[in-house]
Amino acid sequence: MQKIVGEMTFKKISILIVIALFAVVSACETIMPDEPAPEEVLAEPIEDLTPAQLNLHLQGDGEFARIFSQAEGLGPIFVQASCESCHIGDGKGHLFTALTRFGQYEQDGVTWNSLLNQGGPQLQHRSIANYPAEAIPNGVRQATFIAPNVTGLGFLEAVTDQTILDLMNEQALAGIVSGTVNYVDAPDFFTPKAHHIPNGQGQYIGRFGRKAAAIDLVHQTTNAYKQDMGITSDFDLQDPINYAVSGLSGDNVADPEIPAGTVNAVAFYIQTLKAPPRRNTNDPQVIAGENIFKQIGCENCHKQTLTAGPSIISEINNKDFHPYTDMLLHDMGPELDDGYTEGSVATSEWRTMPLWGLGLQKDSQGGTQFLLHDGRATNYNQAIQLHGGEADFARANYRQLSQAQKDQLFKFLDSL
């Protein structure tokens, strides 16, 4: 063998390599499954974007996938180096990429302190070379969060504050469940839209994040760049640092590390991701499951249909959509009370998780499902069994179902 190779010219070897590669590639083509149908894919732009909008969407898509290096400003402390590493394929995250947040109540037992001067509210457990990663201060409260999917959020962003407040009032009147909103301090860069309604203290309704602490997608994206990746922007010029050590320079990259345009492009990208598509809607089992879902009271919180307010994106503008959330926070009982919170929300309160995309999310979670804010449930039954507090009645109804009815309910959830 060696002798033959020795006699071959470089050119001949190259040709052989090319032929071998070609054989491998064609073999792959025959083994690889066809491209998935559009209704099986989460990460697609909504359909009727103008060419300029599609361009901005694609720019944001690139930035969402961009992996930051230390030279580009990553850190000095961070959790992951790209948005996509947690929101894989725009889908739900995994336990491996979960975030840890911490804080504590003040002496009064009512005012929540996010411990900004001790590195709160988020732990950055990784760091660049020669810089110590952060540790959680002693004696504080903490919770774990897995990444939600980011599709369809443009619709949720366009729901008017009035719609959310109306829903809250309807629930208070009906007396079955009693959702609330989280009023949060607006960051300096926040520009209210016509539909935003501040409260008496000039705070705005939060709608993104599991405690609803971010007002809009630019707010959420700015926080993600800083807290998750240690990337400063025109909107927030301060890198996260390790407060336990002093006298260390940061990442030695001039701030802002990215311009406002990049943050806006990424927010626009998320805004213009299509709503997760439904599947198997004609399957009798799915239809039966949907009826059960409504009968046992799940829809009180996981509201099937919401209506968007005005939007520059024509597919969103004043349109009905089906997220299966009321965007309100509910007391879920001791089962889901981690002792941690954000803003004025009680520690047992969580924003109703939108259920759209449930059936497609397993793909981004490595085949297993991780449900609830920290992924503690690995199937629908476990997730529902952990619904206490305001959802106690729905859980009690669920427990009365036969296994066949539960299976129908699960088929319905998988179709979302």
**Quick check: 151 and 357 in contact, CB under 8 A?**
yes
By CB under 6 A, residue 322 contacts ligand HEC: no
CA distance 395 to 393: 5
By CB under 6 A, residue 80 contacts ligand HEC: yes
236 or 315: whose CB is closer to ligand HEC? 236
**Quick check: 225 and 242 in contact, CB under 8 A?**
no
**Quick check: 348 and 334 in contact, CB under 8 A?**
yes
Contacting residue, 68, 102, 131, 145, with ligand HEC by CB under 6 A:
145
Contacting residue, 46, 49, 150, 345, with ligand HEC by CB under 6 A:
150
Among residues 164, 264, 165, 158, which one has the least CA distance to residue 220? Answer: 264
100: Cβ contacts below 8 Å, ≥ 6 apart: 122, 123, 125, 136, 142, 143, 144, 145
Residues of span 207-246 touching ligand HEC by CB under 6 A: 208-211, 213, 217, 220-221, 224-225, 228-229
Contacting residue, 91, 387, 408, 415, with ligand HEC by CB under 6 A:
387
Q: Tokens for 128? A: 């660049």
Q: Tokens for 103? A: 């804080």
By CB under 6 A, residue 352 contacts ligand HEC: yes
Shortest approach of ligand HEC to residue 395 CB, angstroms?
6
Shortest approach of ligand HEC to residue 34 CB, angstroms?
28
CA distance 346 to 331: 8
CA distance 86 to 228: 10
Contacting residue, 115, 253, 383, 416, with ligand HEC by CB under 6 A:
383
Residue 316 sits at the vertex; the CA angle it makes with 312 and 317, to the nearest 5 degrees, is 55
Residues of span 3-42 touching ligand HEC by CB under 6 A: none
84: Cβ contacts below 8 Å, ≥ 6 apart: 64, 65
Contacting residue, 332, 345, 360, 416, with ligand HEC by CB under 6 A:
332
Segment near ligand HEC (CB under 6 A); pick from 181-189, 282-290, 304-312, 348-356:
348-356
165 or 346: whose CB is closer to ligand HEC? 346
Count of positions (residues) in the chain: 416
Instruction: Give the footprint of ligand HEC on this chain (CB under 6 A).
Output: 79-80, 83, 85-87, 93, 97, 99, 145-148, 150, 153, 177, 208-211, 213, 217, 220-221, 224-225, 228-229, 266, 270, 293, 296-298, 300-302, 330, 332, 336, 350, 352-353, 371-373, 380, 383-384, 387, 390-391, 394, 398, 413
